[in-house]
Amino acid sequence: MGASTAVGSAVGRDEEAGRQSPGTAPTPHADSTIRRSSRRAQGFPFSLKQLCCPHCGAAKTLNRHSRLYGNDPAQAKARTVRGQRVFCSDRGQRGGCGRTFAIFLEDVLPRHTISASLLWALLLPLLSGQSVRAAFHQAKTPMALESIYHLVARLRRRLDAVRVCLSRRGPPPECSHLDPLLQTVEHVQTTFTGAVCPLRQFQRVFQQPLLG
């Protein structure tokens, strides 16, 4: 990742980065896209006019299909809109491929309940020396502590891919941390200085789900 930037079957890109020319090869995550989060996007539908199908590259063939729902990370047993499924029409003279893909909001971590904003709130205190447990209690999330440990472990396994993306924007900052996770968190923070949530910005700019 549109509505809260979509990382859906296409993770939200920058407006420029999110466009593909007809005939271009599909992106590594051609089944999803990520779009910016905004009040306008939250209301759906968002514009598909300037998007091309990530599968076939066709333009002006996209139709809104259905909304994507999932568990609400802020409220137990509640559901929330996570994105929009889109259909590339092959009917009549449209010339599409007939396949669908998802557009996720940028705050959505595909296949995970936790949001990018909440994960960032959990990671940021680690830079100041707090433990995962302390950050968990500070964030007051309805999720279980064991789930947070699992997410941190998954993020550690994704550090190589995350660093490759960040290196496209600039070298890592000088850092006193020895832990590769904390080094990467600081790199994300430096790369997207001023962003409300650097992890949301990461997904939208690189069109890559943070946790894979």
pLDDT in tens, 63-99: 998 899 998 887 878 888 999 999 999 988 878 999 9
Q: How far apart are CA 44 and CA 119, in angstroms?
A: 25
Please indicate, yes or no, whether the overall pTM of this predicted structure exceeds 0.75.
yes
Give tens-digit pLDDT for 173-211.
Answer: 999 999 999 999 999 999 999 999 999 999 999 999 999
Looking at residue 57, what is its pLDDT? Answer: 92
Alpha carbons 206 and 147: distance in angstroms, whole number: 26
Measured in residues, the chain has a length of: 212
| Cβ atoms within 10 Å, residue 193 | 8
Confidence of residue 127 (pLDDT cuts 50, 70, 90): very high
Over residues 110-129, mean pLDDT: 95
Letter string b/e over residues 149-165, b meaning 16 or more CB atoms within 10 A of that residue's CB: eebbeebeeeeeebeeb
Residue 43 has pLDDT above 70, yes or no: no
As a whole number, mean pLDDT of residues 150-159 equals 97
- 39 pLDDT higher than 50: no
pLDDT of residue 14: 31
Measured CA to CA, the distance from residue 164 to residue 152 in angstroms comes to 19
The better pLDDT of the pair 3, 142 is held by: 142
Q: How confident is the model at residue 41 (pLDDT cuts 50, 70, 90)?
A: very low
CA geometry: angle 102, 119, 205, nearest 5 deg: 50
| pLDDT over 90, % of the chain | 60
- 81: three-class secondary structure by DSSP: strand
Q: What is the mean pLDDT of the chain?
A: 82
Residue 119 binned pLDDT confidence (cut-offs 50, 70, 90): very high
Question: What average pLDDT does the segment 1-7 reach?
Answer: 41
Distances (CA, A) of 57 to 14, 60, 76, 91: 17, 10, 39, 16
Q: What is the mean pLDDT of residues 35-63?
A: 72
- Domain residue spans of the chain: 5-106, 116-206
Output the CA torsion sign for 75, 76, 79, 82. positive
Average pLDDT over residues 142-166: 96
The pair of structure tokens assigned to 70 is: 């999932």
Q: What is the DSSP letter of 44?
A: S
For residues 95 and 133, the model is more confident at: 133
DSSP-assigned states of every residue in 113-143: SSBHHHHHHHHGGGGGT--HHHHHHHHT-SS
**In this model, does residue 8 exceed pLDDT 60?**
no
Kindly state the average pLDDT of the residues 136-150. 92
